[in-house]
C-alpha cells in the first residue's frame, strides 16, 4: 500500500486512491465504515433496491434478451492490464490522457511484459540439503499471510503439517508468527521465505538474515505487488487485520523494525491501539511498497 510519507505523492496530478483506502481501513477503529460497497454488482443491487420499478427497468434493460450487452461485457473481460514488474515505481505517474490507455502505459516502460511472466522470483539463500532432498509431491504450501485470522496459533500448525507431509512450506512477509517460531514448528522440513520488499534496505537485510539463520533455503520475491490492490469488500467493511493489531509479528519480532517504531514514538505494548499503529507502520514499511529505496 502506498506510503503516506512518500514525497512523490506531492508531485501527482491525480488523487492517490490508496491513501483513501488506508483511511477507510483505519476508520473501523473509530466505529465508521464507508457508506456503500464499490463492487459493481453490489452497487447495482443497491440501485435496484432504491429505485422505483420503472426507474430500475429503464436504467437496466437492454434490447431483446440483452445478448448484445452480454457479448460486449464478455469482450471487455478478455482484455487484461498487465503491470510492469521490476521497474522504478517511486515517481508518480502522470494522469492518463484521453488518447488511449496503451499510450499512457507505454511511457513508463518501452518493453511490453510477456503474458507468461511470473509475479515471483525464486532465489536460493543457501545450498542446504533441504532444497535438494526429494519431497513427497511437486506442490507446496503457498505463502498465505495473517494466519491468526483463521486460527489463534497462526502459521505454526500449518508449518508443522507441511513438515510431516514432507512438502515445502512458504512463510509470508505478512505472517502473524515470528520467523524463528515458524522455523521451530517446521523442524527439518524444507521451507521458503516470501519477501515483500520493504522501503527500508536495512529492514530487508534483517528479515532475510533472520530467514537464512532459521533454515529458510529459498527466497520467493514478489514482484507484482508494489501496493495493495483495491478490494471492494475489504474496503467496504474495513477488513484489514494489520490495523486491528493483528499480523505485524514479523516486524514486531525484528530489531530493525522495532527500532523504527521507537524512532516514531510508537510503543506496541501499551494498548491494542498501539499494536494497530504498528500494523499501520508495517503496511507502509514492511509490507508491499513502492521500492527498496523509497522513503518511509
pLDDT (tens, 9 = 90+) of the chain, 296 residues, equals 466 777 777 777 777 778 888 888 888 888 898 888 999 999 999 999 999 999 999 988 899 999 999 999 999 989 887 777 777 666 555 544 433 333 333 333 333 333 334 466 666 555 454 554 678 988 999 999 999 999 999 999 999 999 999 999 999 999 999 999 999 999 999 999 999 888 889 999 999 999 999 999 999 998 877 777 888 999 999 898 888 878 888 888 999 998 988 888 887 666 555 556 565 555 554 443 333 333 23
pLDDT of amino acid 189: 94
Dist. CA 295–CA 6, nearest whole Å = 6
C-alpha pair distances (Å), 175 with each of 117, 158, 227: 26, 12, 17
pLDDT of amino acid 119: 60
Which of 27-65 are b and which e, b meaning 16 or more Cβ less than 10 Å from the residue's Cβ?
ebbeeeeeeebeeeeeeeeeeeeeeeeeeeeeeeeeeee
What pTM was estimated for this model as a whole? 0.74
**Closest Cα to residue 34, out of 237, 282, 296?**
237
Question: What are 267-290's pLDDT values in tens digits?
Answer: 766 655 555 656 555 555 444 333
Dist. CA 251–CA 182, nearest whole Å = 14
Dist. CA 176–CA 185, nearest whole Å = 14
What are the cell numbers at 276? 494497530
pLDDT of amino acid 107: 34
pLDDT of amino acid 104: 31
Give the SS3 label for residue 195.
strand
Amino acid at each position: 500500500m502506498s506510503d503516506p510519507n512518500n514525497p512523490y505523492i506531492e508531485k501527482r496530478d491525480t488523487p492517490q486512491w490508496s491513501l483513501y483506502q488506508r483511511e477507510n481501513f483505519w476508520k473501523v477503529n473509530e466505529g465508521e465504515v464507508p457508506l456503500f460497497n464499490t463492487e459493481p454488482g453490489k452497487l447495482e443491487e443497491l440501485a435496484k433496491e432504491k429505485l422505483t420499478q420503472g426507474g430500475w427497468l429503464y436504467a437496466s434493460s437492454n434490447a431483446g434478451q440483452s445478448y448484445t450487452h452480454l457479448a460486449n461485457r464478455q469482450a471487455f473481460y478478455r482484455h487484461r492490464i498487465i503491470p510492469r514488474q521490476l521497474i522504478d515505481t517511486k515517481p508518480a505517474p502522470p494522469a492518463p490522457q484521453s488518447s488511449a490507455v496503451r499510450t499512457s502505459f507505454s511511457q513508463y516502460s518501452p518493453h511490453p511484459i510477456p503474458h507468461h511472466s511470473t509475479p515471483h522470483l525464486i532465489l536460493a539463500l543457501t545450498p542446504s540439503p533441504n532444497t535438494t532432498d526429494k519431497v513427497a509431491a511437486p506442490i507446496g504450501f503457498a505463502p498465505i499471510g495473517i494466519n491468526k485470522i483463521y486460527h489463534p496459533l497462526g502459521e505454526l500448525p500449518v508449518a508443522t503439517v507441511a513438515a510431516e507431509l514432507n512438502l515445502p512450506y512458504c512463510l509470508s512477509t505478512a505472517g502473524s508468527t515470528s520467523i524463528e517460531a515458524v522455523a521451530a514448528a517446521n523442524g527439518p522440513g524444507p521451507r521458503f521465505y516470501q519477501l515483500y520488499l520493504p522501503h527500508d534496505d536495512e529492514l530487508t537485510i534483517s528479515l532475510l538474515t533472520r530467514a537464512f539463520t532459521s533454515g529458510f533455503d529459498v527466497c520467493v520475491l514478489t514482484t507484482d505487488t508494489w501496493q495493495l490492490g483495491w478490494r471492494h469488500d475489504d474496503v467496504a467493511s474495513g477488513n484489514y487485520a494489520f490495523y486491528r493489531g493483528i499480523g505485524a509479528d514479523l516486524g514486531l519480532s525484528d530489531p530493525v523494525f522495532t527500532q523504527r517504531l521507537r524512532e516514531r514514538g510508537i510503543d506496541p505494548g501499551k494498548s491494542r491501539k498501539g499494536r494497530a499503529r504498528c500494523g499501520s507502520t508495517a503496511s507502509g514499511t514492511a509490507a508491499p511498497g513502492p521500492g527498496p529505496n523509497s522513503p518511509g
